[in-house]
Amino acid sequence: MNEEQSNLYIFERTPVSKAILQLSVPMMLGMSVGVIQNIMNAFFIGRLHNTAMLSAVTLGLPVFTILMALGNIYGVGGGTYISRLLGEKRMDEAKSAAVFAIGGSFATGLLCILLSLLFVDPIVHLLGADAATFDLAKRYTVALLIGSPFIIANFAFEQVVRAEGAAKASMSGMFICTLVNLALDPLLILYLDWNVIGAAVSMALANGISVLYYAWYLQRKSQYLSLSLRSFKLTMDTVSNTFKIGISEFLLSMFLIVTTLLLNHYSVLYGDGVVAGFGIALRIVQLPEFLCMGLFMGIVPLLAYSYAANNMARFKRAAVMTGLWIGIVTVLFSGIVFFLRTHVLQMFSADGVVIEIGTSILTAMLISSLFTGFTGLFTSLFQAAGQARQAVVMSVTQGLLFIPVIYLMHEIFGLHGIVWSLAVTEILTCLTGVVMFLLLNRKINENRGKDSQPHKEAAEQL
């Protein structure tokens, strides 16, 4: 294997613009088809012309978010640590960190089944289900929880694979998951008439097949990592570095659940039509958000590797160029969908109430998405640099701010206050990220100045 065939070549030598494309485009494509997967679930449920079923699937979204969050503890935490270890040329420790991340994700999934199924009724009540949607939401939730080991492990696997620069392999696993899901959705939801259970089972099976692909890749194709237990050595460094960054991603997801629960709580007050409108709008806006997520998550290994290798010029250039692309993606998508918003909503529902309120919700969500990508970029920068405190602050700020914002805006503006509360919160969170990044940038510049001082003094002596 020559130098250019190495996955690490993209971290060290590839021009930054090309490296961003090679790392982020596969991630963007993979996450985009993941959004299509969620949209198609809603589409096939919508073909049943049952608003209660569509609402039940919407109410169950936080459960999937929890499983994703648990996977991201090991995926984001372990993945960024692996990239930093590779940047420091600590290859054996990188292999051990990969085994810990994957094994931990499976064990967490098994524990999740045991604990969650014991409390499924309180969970469904907490999701905001009413008498009309409770049974349907419970069926969807139970089916999803049974498949939790595969869902959690899939999120961990994908990011561990990407940590060594294997962006195409990471994307391939996402495509496999989505294609299997799209094939199973019409079969299970419509043909076998499993409706909401079919949507959950389809998702779980698709994640399981994707896990098999990633396991095969790490054992047969990976250049630097493996699943061999002989590579594993449990150390406090591995545990602490995985969890101190992974927990920030977990908290972010948890507060997103708080956000969803609050939206469900307030929107239920205005009927199933409003709940369904939020569900459809959220799925549509996921596309630009996931494209941006593909960008800022795609470059995390490059950022982490560059930071660990003390290549701050490359670190900063990657951050700036990614921010530019995030701005282009969100402005273009939001502008196009804004002008076609009514027609887009009509693809999912013929209910006049859903379309009317969905138009207002979608407009507010599109404005919010203009800031969401930059918020995610700031969080990724802090994670890649191992700045756990800043990463945690970014993760909890949105959730903490949203609680008083939605309460006050609902009290003052009613339904329209609920609709616009997310946009207000996202703007404030993004501004918090700007301030903390400026502080981090000053710290980096000061450290570079200290590092360069001995060289300057040596040159003066010569």
Highest mean pLDDT among 59-63, 116-120, 147-151, 257-261: 147-151
Interval 356-365: pLDDT, tens: 888 888 888 8
Encoded amino acid at 12, one letter: E
Interval 67-87: pLDDT, tens: 888 888 898 889 889 988 988
Average pLDDT over residues 5-11: 69
Average pLDDT over residues 150-178: 87
Residues in the chain: 462
Confidence of residue 37 (pLDDT cuts 50, 70, 90): low
Confidence of residue 154 (pLDDT cuts 50, 70, 90): very high
pLDDT number for residue 31: 62
Assess whether pLDDT exceeds 90 at residue 107.
yes
Confidence of residue 97 (pLDDT cuts 50, 70, 90): very high
CB atoms within 10 A of CB 327: 14
**Pick from 366, 301, 360: which is nearest to 329 by CA?**
366
- What 3 state SS string does the chain have? CCHHHCCCHHHHCCCHHHHHHHHHHHHHHHHHHHHHHHHHHHHHHHCCCCHHHHHHHHHCHHHHHHHHHHHHHHHHHHHHHHHHHHHCCCHHHHHHHHHHHHHHHHHHHHHHHHHHHHCHHHHHHHCCCCCCCHHHHHHHHHHHHHCHHHHHHHHHHHHHHHHCCCHHHHHHHHHHHHHHHHHHHHHHHHHCCCHHHHHHHHHHHHHHHHHHHHHHHHHHCCCCCCCCHHHCCCCHHHHHHHHHHHHHHHHHHHHHHHHHHHHHHHHHCCCHHHHHHHHHHHHHHHHHHHHHHHHHHHCHHHHHHHHHCCCHHHHHHHHHHHHHHHHHHHHHHHHHHHHCHHHHHHCCCCCHHHHHHHHHHHHHHHHHHHHHHHHHHHHHHHHHCCCHHHHHHHHHHHHHHHHHHHHHHHHHHCHHHHHHHHHHHHHHHHHHHHHHHHHHHHHHHHHHHHHHHHHHHHHHHC
Q: Is 383 exposed, middle or buried (0-12, 13-18, 19+ CB in 10 A)?
A: buried
Assess whether pLDDT exceeds 80 at residue 128.
no
Assess whether pLDDT exceeds 80 at residue 455.
no
Is residue 215 within 8 A of residue 53, CB to CB? The reply is no
Interval 297-308: pLDDT, tens: 888 888 988 888
Percentage above 90 pLDDT, the chain: 16
Is residue 300 within 8 A of residue 384, CB to CB? The reply is yes
- State phi, psi for 59 to the nearest 5 degrees: -65, -25
Q: 171 or 28, which is more confident? A: 171
Q: Is 168 exposed, middle or buried (0-12, 13-18, 19+ CB in 10 A)?
A: middle
CA 343 from chain center: how many Å? Answer: 28
Assess whether pLDDT exceeds 80 at residue 129.
no
pLDDT number for residue 456: 46
Confidence of residue 226 (pLDDT cuts 50, 70, 90): confident
Confidence of residue 3 (pLDDT cuts 50, 70, 90): very low
Is the pTM for the entire model greater than 0.85?
A: no
Assess whether pLDDT exceeds 90 at residue 376.
no
Percentage above 70 pLDDT, the chain: 92
Q: What is the mean pLDDT of the chain?
A: 82
Interval 191-220: pLDDT, tens: 887 888 888 898 899 999 999 999 999 988
Report how far apart the first and last C-alpha atoms of the chain are (Å, whole number).
42
* Residues 238, 239, 240, 242, CA torsion sign: positive
In angstroms, the CA 2 to CA 225 distance is: 18
Assess whether pLDDT exceeds 50 at residue 2.
no
Average pLDDT over residues 370-379: 89
Assess whether pLDDT exceeds 60 at residue 5.
no
pLDDT number for residue 458: 37
Assess whether pLDDT exceeds 80 at residue 43.
no
Return the structure tokens found at 57.
Answer: 């699937």
Interval 396-452: pLDDT, tens: 887 788 889 999 999 999 888 888 998 899 999 999 999 998 888 887 777 665 554
pLDDT number for residue 101: 93
Q: 108 or 174, which is more confident? A: 108
Assess whether pLDDT exceeds 60 at residue 99.
yes
Q: 281 or 99, which is more confident? A: 99
